[in-house]
Every structure is written in structure tokens, then in C-alpha cells.
Amino acid sequence: MVSVIIPTYNEASCLGHLLACLAQSHGDFEVLVTDGESTDNTAGIVTGWVGHFPHPLRLLVGSRPRALQLNRAAERARGDVLLFLHADVDLPDRGLLNLETALKDSEVVGGNFRVRFNGTSSADRLFSTVYHLRRRFGVYYGDSGIFVRRRTFEQLGGFKPIPIMEDYEFVRCLERAGRTTCLEPELQVSDRRWREQGVWSAVARWVWIETLFCLGFSPHRLARFYGPVRENSHA
């Protein structure tokens, strides 16, 4: 079984769409929404689905950062495969079935989905292309739907409890743990960060933070330069 883990913080504007998408998905899976004490109606959206969601659905509430939310949900998950989805993505129809098929190969320890940002601007096309090119070098992020076998996740010690770049750090470990795969069809991801911050501002922060992190700068200091972006200015 696949455990779909969705970390949230003030995601009322998009979580319902993702849950509706998952409700139409096929496969053997459960869904755990791990909320970081949202101040909007995120929790209410989840509880509204409980009872008529076609698969097991649970809400977990606890403190942030996201790494702690992900690890907390992984501990409670029942599946032998963990799929981590951001709330602002659109999972393709055959996404879960393709994941199950890929993991029939015992040498595959995990991977992610190919990403397409859902806007129509040149920036969306550029970012989608850049993500695809970087994936060839084993570089990808949490917004691409990271998945991993439970035993591999536990061997790696889960996500490092840092406030930023936990996904990048985990992927570096995952790529060293064994063979990974990049699945299609594409996972559609919101372009809200550069719509809110501006394209060049978002790019500059992204490059700057990743560079400094790789040089050994404290992620606790870097987190101050990368605040949350939410629809309708939820912060």
C-alpha cells in the first residue's frame, strides 16, 4: 500500500482540489494530511472529507517545520511506500498506478514525478524545463512528489529536522541509496511563488539559498529568506 502524505500550513485554498483529485485516483493507498497548526480552514476541509473519502483519510496536527510534519506522518503511515505531495499539486490520473508499477522493480528505492508548472507564462515553461534538466543530475525537490520505500526512508533516518532544504538534503541521500526513477505523466505544480514574489526575485532566492546551503550555511539562518507563499495572502 502507498501512504500519501500531505504537509499543510494554511492551504485551505488548494487542499480541497488535491483531495478531490486523489478521490478519483486508482490504487491501494491511504492519505495522511499532516497539518502545522493552520489558522485557516485547512483542518475543516480534511474533516469534511472524512467519512465519504473512498480511501482511508487521516488528519494529524502538530508543530512545524515541515520536516517534523513529514516524519510524524511517516511514523503513523501504514504503507510500505511513502509518497510526499505538496498541497498545491495536481496528481495525474495514473500517477499512483504508475508509481506502483515502477516499484515492482526491486532495485528502485524511490524517485519523483516529472514537473510541469501550471501557468502559461514563459517563466512557467522555463522552470518546467530547468526542473527536467536538473533531474537528469539527480536534483529534485519536494514539490515534485518524492516517493520512497518505507525501509529506505527508515534507513536514511527520514527528513533532517531543519526548517528549509530538508527535501534537497533527503534527495541527496536517496540518490546515494540506490536507483531512482522519474515518473510520467507530469505532476502539475502551482506557479504561485513567482506570481506572488516575482520571477526574478523567486529565482534569486532559490539560487542564493541553495548555493549557501551547499556551502554549509545554517538552514536556520537561510529560512529567514524563504517565507511561505499562500494563495489569497495566507501566511
User: What does the buried/exposed string (b/e) look like for 177-204 if buried means 16 or more CB atoms within 10 Å of the residue's CB?
Assistant: beebbbbeebbbbbbbbbbebebeebbe
pLDDT band at 83 (very low <50, low <70, confident <90, very high): very high
Question: pLDDT at position 234, please?
Answer: 35
- The CATH superfamily label for domain 2-193 reads Spore Coat Polysaccharide Biosynthesis Protein SpsA; Chain A (3.90.550.10)
| pTM, entire model | 0.92
Contact 30, 78 (CB under 8 A): yes
Q: What is the pLDDT of residue 121?
A: 81
Q: Provide the residue ranges of all domains of the chain, joining segments of one domain with +.
A: 2-193
Alpha carbons 181 and 112: distance in angstroms, whole number: 7
The pLDDT of residue 230: 54
pLDDT tens digit sequence for 131-162: 999 999 999 999 999 999 999 999 999 999 99
> pLDDT per residue over 38-53, tens digit each?
999 999 999 999 989 9
DSSP 144: G
Query: Is the pLDDT confidence value at 201 over 80?
Result: no
